[in-house]
Amino acid sequence: MSEREKNIVILISGGGSNMGAILRAAVRENWRDRLGARVAAVISNRAEAEGLALARGLGVVTQVLAHQGFESRAAFDAALQAMIDAHQPALVVLAGFMRILTPDFVAHYRGRLVNIHPSLLPAFTGLDTHSRALQAGCRVAGATVHQVTTELDQGQILAQAVVPVLLGDSAEALAARVLTQEHLLYPQAIKALLPTLSAG
């Protein structure tokens, strides 16, 4: 591994479809040679997360740190931080990681911790974004890649994709169309961000 290589660590809790999109883009677009970057590890807080097998199948190191058994959220985050830092990350990517992160953890990775949210932020932060967009009568929905800060879904917007809301849409149908765009948007946003980052 080059000392100047930019390592990416991806955190997941479930199926890891966005993670898979990132991994495939990294291979297809040869991030290692073209950008000096590689996905060094995929870490999950759930041993049964389906995305772990997907990552291993794509040749990526996987690790599990189960959150049960830790005396506090802070204790888990400290252990997770140590596991991540062993990979000297230039970037930490949240891809369906279903944990609320402590302020100390977020501060440690300031400027190199990103997430994707299924709405056009700043609209519809938090949960149930698609049903809320439909209830509000929105004509468009979408997804946002953003820097993670201590304020929920309030970090700097890095990229967005707009998805039309169709007549008769259900939350499930809208979510599926937005997810298709997430799989395109997230790798593109990471690729654009990488040149601005220093190697870990």
Q: Facing residues of 6 across strands?
A: 37
- Rounded Cα distance, 126 and 17, in Å: 20
67 among known catalytic residues: no
- Rounded Cα distance, 74 and 70, in Å: 9
- Rounded Cα distance, 164 and 169, in Å: 10
DSSP per residue, the chain: --TT-EEEEEEESS--HHHHHHHHHHHHTTHHHHHSEEEEEEEES-TT-THHHHHHHTT--EEE---TT-SSHHHHHHHHHHHHHTT-EEEEEESS---PPPHHHHHHTTTSEEEEESS-TTSS-SS-HHHHHHHTT-SEEEEEEEE--SSTT-SPEEEEEEEEPPTT--HHHHHHHHHHHHHHHHHHHHHHHGGGSPP-
In the set 87, 117, 146, 183, the catalytic residue is 117
Catalogue the active-site residues: 117
